[in-house]
Amino acid sequence: MKKIEMTAAALSLLMLAGCGAGGNPAPLTGKVNDAQGAPLAGVMVRVSDEKSGLADSTFTNGKGEYRLPTKLAGALKLRFRLPYYTDIAQSLTLDAARPQVRSTVMAKMTSDSVISDSLPSAYHFDKLRFDAAPDAMFSRANFQRDCAGCHALGGAVTGNKRSLADWTEVVTRMQGNLGNPDPALIASRAARIMAGFDGAPVTARPVFPVGPELGDAIIHEFKLPDIAFPHDADLSRDDGLLYTVDRLGNQMVITNLSDGKSVTVEQPPSKRPAVAGNSYATRSAQPGPHSLAQGKNGLWYTTNSTSDEIGVFDPKTRKWKDSFVLPEPARYPHTIRMAPDGFIWFTLAYSQQVGRLDPVSGAIELISLPPAKVLGGGGGASVYGIDVSPADGRIWYARLWGDRIGVIDPKTLVATEFASPVKGPRRLRFDASGALWLTGYSEGMIARIDTKTMHSDVYPMPEFAPGARPAPYALAVHPKTQEIWINETSTDRVYRFLPKEKRFIVYPMPLHGSFTRDFTFTKQGWACTTNSPILNAGLEGGVTGVICFDVNGAKVRS
């Protein structure tokens, strides 16, 4: 490895090592150049501890310099990563009390296959032949909504070359999950996917932005090695711990972000009789917790998607209490939110309903939604995200396969629907002003909606290669800054939108194959989310986890 002489700029960084936020040490600094000696901006510098599963990352600035404050110490792994450049991995022994300098030179990738393998799933997915008509069954928007919603189609596992028989088996399962096992649709989709994923390298060369904010950020990772499918996570307002539901492991995961240690509490099986059907119509004894919300009483309430119940978890005793059994025809409770009056609202994705639970009396109301035209290859319009307006207490929801959003009057329980301003409306959240923010999963958009006038402003997310639209899964509003944090499932990135500036900031994820679910925020302002693709083998390293963004963690302050 070529040795780089210490520059004056890097020396200045070293002298400033003790001036970080909160007085934290900054033991690791350095500079990254290319083979010609030019500085490289946007290089991800990551240190990881294989024993604890913890990792911290930051990025080089426009001068190629980085500064990584970290509490990690001892024998660590150091990695430098930048699109189109070969990764550099080194061993590192770090003393938290002793600053250290590590600089390096990165070489460009030259092999088309190596470049192809390094690109996120969005650019492999874009190899498929899409129909030009936006409403066609095989339009890109419909294909993205139908086939990339639960996992990133085109990733390390799902983008491999397979036989037609193998793809037919996969698509049969996918369409069964959608509630539309149409044999002709399955056959045509399997053939089209097989033709696209032919084993040839991706020819697209997306250009990824390097914003000036990258060098200020630290990304903290916390592995969850024994968790099958961490879905939604939320910070407790009482104990400050992170609570995550494991949908396939049927457990609550409790993580202390100060040391990264987690404990799990298994959820007891349901006593309800089983109901046969396709994936989402089936009822089994396995709870399948999907989403969670903390009640006014401090208890956690979960949507048990496969037992059709609302689970109850006591964080003080760390025990599950008796679940609330949902009446017929409720199927597949999905997203859950808490209203200020203590009522619990949740969507029922498969039975096309919204539910309301009074946790004190146990009373449950099911609101059947208006009929909606089903788009793409779905078997129903699928009511998905939900939130409660802070302005008037009305309940708003999105119908992913219907391109509809709706509102429920909490007094009359009457639902009214509107055309969505974005295609594939998925999850939605209110900001403090009462404006509703919504993701458009099918076309890579987010929207701000004035629910009094129904005026909407639509903001296209950054596109790094022509036509390869992002897939925004969910969004959340930062309680202090009111900035919008957007989860995305196919570009190995998350997005931060500044409403006042109408500008996106893009943060690369530390691991290839990332698929984040929903954001929550710590008291110190970190934006945290779970990283959980299906299958876990599609994630670099194969281990799910929690990831938190501290946007000013590496910023030098005088």
User: Domain holding 37: CATH number?
Assistant: 2.60.40.1120
Q: Do 235 and 135 share a structural domain?
A: no
377 Cβ neighbours under 8 A, 6+ residues apart: 137, 142, 146, 175, 178, 180, 182, 185, 189
Q: What is the pLDDT, as a whole number, of residue 6?
A: 31
Burial 402-439 (b: 16+ CB within 10 A, else e): bbbbbbbebeeeebebeebbbbbbbbbbbbeeebbbbb
Q: What is the dihedral angle through the alpha carbons of 169, 175, 181, 184, rounded to the nearest 10 degrees? A: -70
Q: Do 278 and 400 share a structural domain?
A: yes
Q: Do 40 and 132 share a structural domain?
A: no
CA distance 82 to 59: 10
Q: Is 158 helix (H, G, I), strand (E, B) or coil?
A: coil
Alpha helices (H) along 136-295:
140-147, 164-177, 183-196
Q: What is the pLDDT, as a whole number, of residue 253?
A: 97
Q: Do 93 and 168 share a structural domain?
A: no
The tally of domains found in the chain comes to: 3
CA distance 420 to 438: 9
CA distance 290 to 310: 10
Domain boundary among 53, 83, 109: 109
Token pair 């997005």 is found at 495
The pTM assigned to this predicted structure is 0.93
Domain boundary among 109, 131, 166: 109
Domain boundary among 132, 167, 196: 196
Q: Do 137 and 83 share a structural domain?
A: no
Q: What is the pLDDT, as a whole number, of residue 25?
A: 52
Are 383 and 398 in contact by the 8 Å Cβ rule? The answer is yes
Q: Do 376 and 312 share a structural domain?
A: yes
Q: Do 225 and 172 share a structural domain?
A: no
Q: What is the pLDDT, as a whole number, of residue 385?
A: 98
Q: What is the pLDDT, as a whole number, of residue 24?
A: 52
- Tell whether 201 is covered by a domain: no
Q: Do 272 and 305 share a structural domain?
A: yes
Q: Do 134 and 250 share a structural domain?
A: no
Per-residue tokens: 115: 């470049």
Q: Do 259 and 316 share a structural domain?
A: yes
Secondary structure percentages of the chain, helix, strand, coil, to 5: 10, 40, 50
Q: Do 254 and 158 share a structural domain?
A: no
Per-residue tokens: 428: 């939605």
- Tell whether 98 is covered by a domain: yes
| CATH number of the domain where residue 287 is located | 2.130.10.10
Select from 96, 94, 106, 101 the least CA-distant residue to 29. 101
The boundaries of the domain holding residue 86 are: 8-109
- Tell whether 536 is covered by a domain: yes
533 Cβ neighbours under 8 A, 6+ residues apart: 151, 152, 155, 513, 514, 515, 539
- Tell whether 317 is covered by a domain: yes
- Tell whether 405 is covered by a domain: yes
pLDDT along the chain (558 residues), means of 10: 31 29 64 98 97 96 95 95 98 88 97 97 94 91 88 86 94 88 93 95 95 95 92 96 97 96 97 80 92 97 97 98 97 97 97 97 97 92 97 97 97 98 97 98 97 98 95 97 96 97 97 94 97 87 95 76
- Tell whether 212 is covered by a domain: no
- Tell whether 364 is covered by a domain: yes
- Tell whether 558 is covered by a domain: no
Q: Do 536 and 503 share a structural domain?
A: yes
